[in-house]
Amino acid sequence: MQNWKDYSQLVYEAFRSTPSIDEMRDRIATANINSQSLLATDYLNHFNEVAMIVEMLPDMPDFIEDVKSWSPKSYKEHFRDSSFSDKELAIDAYDCVPTPYLVAFEGAIFRAVKTIQESIGQLETAISTADRDRIQIASSELSAKLEALMSTMRSIVNGELGTLAQGEIDQLLSAGSDRASGPSVVGPIAKAEESAETGGLDQNSIDSLFD
């Protein structure tokens, strides 16, 4: 078990220097970051990358290897690796994203990654037939799902939660909850650091303190 005092100090240090939402909104006033959600649309480029590859599969089926090798990145990982002009500010702002936007956004990310991963088998089956029409059907189906999820992410980033249907919001909240409560192979300290990035401790992190 991780020493409780050390764990508490880690969490305290992670949150002590986090600015308030209003303070962060002042900091991002001139940046390409939405003032309502504190999110940046540049993150969607991470999913645009694989979406464009999927669209090319009917004519270049060998590109399935690029789809299979695509690796999901968290919001902060994307900006650490990006050339976005306000990348450091985008990373800092993520710690201040209002909870409704954060949970819905993480839920949409979870669903998008899951959709890609679960579609690979279907794409490979279609490609194995060497039938362009079948490949077109499979790739178009995945493309449509990704476009819908990216549209949802775009609405969240733009601070437009109110434009989403209640059923869609419920699904995102459920997906976000599933992501937070899913199995993990990291220890309590790593969980605390990850939770600090998303703005709060999840229940598993708290439970792990008493294992």
Domain boundaries, the chain: 4-208
Sign of CA dihedral 64, 49, 109, 55: negative
Does residue 137 have a pLDDT over 90?
Answer: yes
Q: How confident is the model at residue 161 (pLDDT cuts 50, 70, 90)?
A: confident
Does residue 46 have a pLDDT over 60?
Answer: yes
CA 187 to chain centre: 21
Q: How confident is the model at residue 193 (pLDDT cuts 50, 70, 90)?
A: very low
